[in-house]
Amino acid sequence: MSQPILITGAAGGSQGSTGRLVAGLLRKQGIPVRAFVHKLDARSDELRLQGAEIVEGDLLDPASVQVAMKEVKRAYFTYPVADGLLEAATIFAATARDAGLELVVNNSQFQGTPDDPAFRDLQRAPSFRNLQHRLADRIFDWAQVGAVHLQTPPYYENVRALVSRSVADQNAVFLPWGDGNAVIPLAGAEDVSRAAATLLAGSGMPSEKIYPLVSETPTVREIVATLGRAIGREIRYVPITDEQWADAVKERLNPHALDHLTHLWQYFRNSKEHRQATNAIREVTGRNPQSLEEFFQANAKSLGAAGQ
């Protein structure tokens, strides 16, 4: 493949960092990568050392997106949990259409399965951010740029960020997840990134337009029990109110992310819909997805594992 693959979010963020992971996976295969980064820093320097071409820009700036997309046929689109998703998706889709892209792999959010009444139902989106993703998916479809949507649930990395401090300090998880019976669909960012890289690197076009990437569907109590096994000590789950949780994390989250997660927790607490893991990661990558317990074991040190 002589033309570079454009990767947005390539420098990575504070949690999933799928753009950075996708760029690294493609470079390991010797595939040319054009890494679109918001600013030049140590992270972009690392990408350059891996052999990626670096383009500094902003997804909300049409001119910089146009420059980044020059002589590109395939691209990965992801956007942080912050204001601007619909504007960025529209700019990216319109530019991709003008540039004649053949494939855009879009990092979206889980929306249910085709037989789920909530699937692509705008009125049943669990949060405003999720609604924005559903609308962004349609924008990419309307642009006719070969869009493929990776519909992902919360990442294992999100769970780690939510619980690491209290687990290490108090052997407890304080979250507004109800009585412990709520089901939280999850996937690992590494598996999502591997699926994206596989689709982008393929010689042909993907066979599907939508890939729901759900590795596990544990209850809250099962998540906590799995964490305890992985780090070698008992962990308590302590349910708290939405207000208590929002007050505790408001200094670490932007208002958009705080609103999204608050509504998402309410949705999971109250939802009666039956959720199941999917085979999409295995079908795309040819390997089994990482389990939640494997993820916790790999990150045991940051969670204050026994003996660490």
pLDDT at residue 273 in the model: 76
pLDDT at residue 71 in the model: 95
User: How do residues 111-143 score in pLDDT, each as one tens digit?
Assistant: 865 555 554 555 678 899 999 999 999 999 999
Q: Are 186 and 159 in contact (CB under 8 A)?
A: yes
Q: Is the pTM of this model over 0.85?
A: yes
Distance CA 63, CA 68 (A): 9
Cα 189 versus chain centre, distance: 6
pLDDT at residue 149 in the model: 98
Sequential DSSP letters for the chain: --SPEEETTTT--SS--HHHHHHHHHHHTT--EEEEESS-SHHHHHHHHTTPEEEE--TT-HHHHHHHTTT-SEEEE---SSTTHHHHHHHHHHHHHHHT-SEEEEEEE----TTSTTTT-GGG-SSHHHHHHHHHHHHHHHHTS-EEEEEE--BHHHHHHHHHHHHHHHSEEEE--TTTT-B--BB-HHHHHHHHHHHHH-SS--S-SEEE---B--BHHHHHHHHHHHHTS--EEEE--HHHHHHHHTTTS-HHHHHHHHHHHHHHHH--------SHHHHHHSSPPPPHHHHHHHTTGGGT-TT-
pLDDT at residue 76 in the model: 98
Amino acid at 294: E
pLDDT at residue 120 in the model: 54
Mark 22-58 as b/e (b = at least 16 C-beta within 10 Å): bbbbbbeeebebbbbbbeeeebbebbeeeebebbebb
pLDDT at residue 126 in the model: 87
pLDDT at residue 271 in the model: 84
pLDDT at residue 14 in the model: 62
Collect the ranges in the chain with pLDDT lower than 70.
Answer: 1, 14-16, 112-123, 305-308
In 3D space, the residue among 33, 129, 147, 21 whose CA is nearest the CA of residue 80 turns out to be 129
Neighbours of 288 (CB within 10 A): 12
